[in-house]
Amino acid sequence: MGVAVRLSGISKRFGNFAANSNISLSIEEGSIHALVGENGAGKSTLTKIIYGMLQPSEGEVYIQGKPVHFTSPREAINAGIGMVHQHFMLIPSLSVAENIMLGDEHASLFQRLPLKEIKARIQKHALEFGLPVDPEAMVENLSVGEEQRVEILKLLFRNASIMIFDEPTAVLTPSEIEHLFATLRTLRDNGKTIILITHKLDEVLAVADTISVMRKGEIAGTIPAKSTTKLELAQMMVGRSVLLRVKNPPPCPGKTVLDIKDIGFCTTHGETKLHNLTLKVKAGEIYGIAGVEGNGQSELLQALYGLLPAGTSLVGEVKLKGKSLIGKNPAEITLMGVSLTPENRLRHAVILDYPVSGNLLFGRHRERSFHRGIGFNSDVLNRYTLKMIAEYDIKCTAPATQPLSSLSGGNQQKIVLARELNRPDISLLILAQPTRGVDIGAIETIHNKIIEARDRGIAILLVSSELEEIIALSTRIGCMYKGAIVHEFTAQEVALKRNSEHEFKKEIGIHIT
């Protein structure tokens, strides 16, 4: 077997910042090669260079031994490179077959499209690689897993021999992930070269042949998957020893704080998003909601925070310590002692152009203790900022002036959590994807802070698509599927099953699909 992709001394600089520096790497033909690393380690920059979306500042790329200088993805595609992006590039109102041939129609302007031929080829590929999908189905009616299969079929149609997958499992259910891995192995066995970008170490160990760990724009090491462990990989990624699982001492839950009874919600298009959802969260416990994204979690969060879109309404009851939350706006709900860290941090939780201190204040700026005159008390604000920075280990240089956008994802999230966890008199904390896009090193801090908040007697509702996180933190777990809690694991069950994580994940997986 030869070398499919060889990188020699690749560097990529943006201004003064080196996203990649002096990277040399060989990717074997017919292997699954994983690139792992924390956010900002330079994985996506490197793949963009291979795919022709970026040009390296220095160094050479060799494809099948030949030096190449791609100036656009089009050239990379012609050279046999394909990429499945994290966000699929499909047109919802076209059929599967139409999407697959889009951009590569093999027909002149007024000629009929060779749809029949395409469909036959789709069937053939589908059988060969385990990619079952109906060529006539509209893409808008497909599940996420099926959409991904369409993307893979697209690459097969373009005869790609090198396939890049950018975080392919982020949106899949556990069983879909198994399925994808089987497909990847078949592709490899058929001589395709797979480059897999991910930050999920379990998955890498399960499917990859070779693993390259990236840290701060450099390759920290390349090792065969067989001869390494999760802990070793994590240490290579972070550059120091890490604790993968937070200590979770037994909780002592108190009275019910949040009481959701039979709520239902329909969008303006008449789509049912929540259906007879019932759950209770007690003081001093973490209620974890496990589920694949798009099963009503977003709507539940919006409903709890008074942010359902105008023109829709919620049926059922939502009570916080006996008082209804329905019909209240976010400011009133906050005042009642509810705090939320939204799913989409960049869009909803922070103001990117505000400095660190402004963001620690944002959303809490109505609290009297920060006020002086018509503005804010800069002494109080400074003290609070410095305290949060120290307590949450936030890395920044000038908290009063440095815009938040210049911080890493992990530090941004720590700022959001520092702000929300420290609100005075909170009784309910709603955490949505609290560690999404956060470095392993920062996850440790964040998880510890969440447990600490629980032990202060705060009721916590945790929504996360990372089952590991749900299992590690939750006191009780509710499985959410199609807008309802379909199964609940009691505190005893969770405490017992936490020790055999792999089996527990599978069991949860059954309930959420």
Partner 1 sequence: MNRKTAQILIPVLSIMSALVVSMLIIIIAGRDPIMIFEKMLQGTLGSAYGTGQVLFRTTTLILVGLAVALPFKVRLFNIGAEGQLQMGAFAAAMTGAMLPPTLPSLSAVSLCVVAAMGAGACWAILAGVLKVRFGVNEVIATIMLNFIAQGITGYLLTYHFAVPSTVHTTPVIDAAVIPSLHSVTGFFAKSPANFSALLSPCVALLFWVILFKSRFGFEMRATGLQPEAAKYGGINAGMHTLTAMGIGGAAAGLGAANILLGYKHYYEAGMTGGIGFTGIAVALLAGAHPLWIMLSALFFGLLEYGGLTVNAYIPKDIFMMIEAITILLVISFSALGKRMHQ
- As a whole number of angstroms, the distance between CA 98 and CA 261 comes to 45
| Distance (Å, whole) CA 120 – CA 107 | 17
Closest to partner 1 by CB, 270 or 309: 309
Contact indicator for 257, 321 with CB cutoff of 8 Å: yes
Nearer to partner 1, 344 or 448 (CB): 344
Closest contact distance (angstroms) between CB of 363 and partner 1 is 4
Residue located via tokens 């620690």? 360
3-class state of residue 327 by DSSP: coil
Closest approach, Cβ 421 to partner 1, in A, equals: 16
Side by side, which strands form the sheet with 256-266?
A: 272-282, 256-266, 314-320, 323-324
Give the nearest distance from C-beta 340 to partner 1 in angstroms.
7
Shortest distance in whole angstroms from residue 351 CB to partner 1: 5
Q: Give the DSSP letter of residue 355.
A: B
Side-chain-side CA neighbours of residue 298 (13 Å) = 12
User: Cβ(50)–Cβ(76) under 8 Å?
Assistant: yes
Q: Which is nearer to partner 1, 44 or 95 (CB)?
A: 44
Cβ at position 39, least distance to partner 1 in Å: 18
Which is closer to partner 1, CB of 20 or CB of 212? 20
Nearest approach in angstroms of CB 374 to partner 1 is: 4
Rounded CA gap, 9 and 56, in Å?
Answer: 10
The residue among 243 and 307 lying less far from partner 1, judged by its C-beta, is 307
- Within 10 A of 91 (CB to CB), how many other CB atoms are there? 12
Look up residue 341 and give its two tokens.
Answer: 């860290």
Maximum C-alpha span of the chain: 74
Residue 364 Cβ vs partner 1, minimum distance, rounded to whole Å: 9
> Closest CB to partner 1 among 109 and 374?
374
CB of 373 to partner 1, least distance (A): 8
Residue 353 beta carbon to partner 1: minimum distance, rounded to whole angstroms: 5
Task: Please state the closest distance from residue 459 (CB atom) to partner 1, in A.
Answer: 20
Instruction: Give yes or no for a contact between 246 and 225, defined as CB atoms under 8 angstroms apart.
Output: no
- 278 or 408: whose CB is closer to partner 1? 408
Rounded Cα–Cα distance for residues 431 and 418 (Å): 12
Q: Tell me if 51 sits within 8 A of 213, measured CB to CB.
A: no
What b/e readout covers 230-246, taking b as 16+ CB neighbours within 10 angstroms?
eeebbbbbbeeeeeeeb
| β-bridge pairing 256-266 and 314-320 | antiparallel
Closer residue to partner 1 (CB): 145 or 355: 355
| Nearest to partner 1 of 106, 366 (CB atom) | 366
Percentages helix, strand, coil for the chain (3-state, rounded to 5) are 35, 25, 35
* Shortest CB 473 distance to partner 1, Å: 23
- What number of other Cβ atoms are within 10 A of residue 167's Cβ? 17
State the nearest-atom distance from the C-beta of 330 to partner 1, in Å.
4
The tokens of 298 are what?
């977003």
- Smaller CB separation from partner 1, 17 or 110: 17
Strands laid side by side in the 17-28 sheet? 17-28, 3-14, 58-63, 66-68
Residues that bind partner 1 (CB under 8 A): 14-15, 305, 307, 329-331, 333-334, 340, 342, 347-354, 358, 361-363, 365-366, 371, 374-376
Closest by CA position to 81, among listed 157, 196, 159: 159
Q: Which of 217/358 has CB closer to partner 1? A: 358
The answer to whether 11 and 21 have CB atoms below 8 angstroms apart is yes
Q: What element of type H or E holds 339?
A: strand 338-341
- Name residue 32's amino acid: I
Bridge partners, residue 12, by sequence: 20
Q: Of 261 and 365, which CB lies nearer to partner 1 in the complex structure?
A: 365
| Helix pair 174-189, 144-157: axis angle to 10 deg | 10
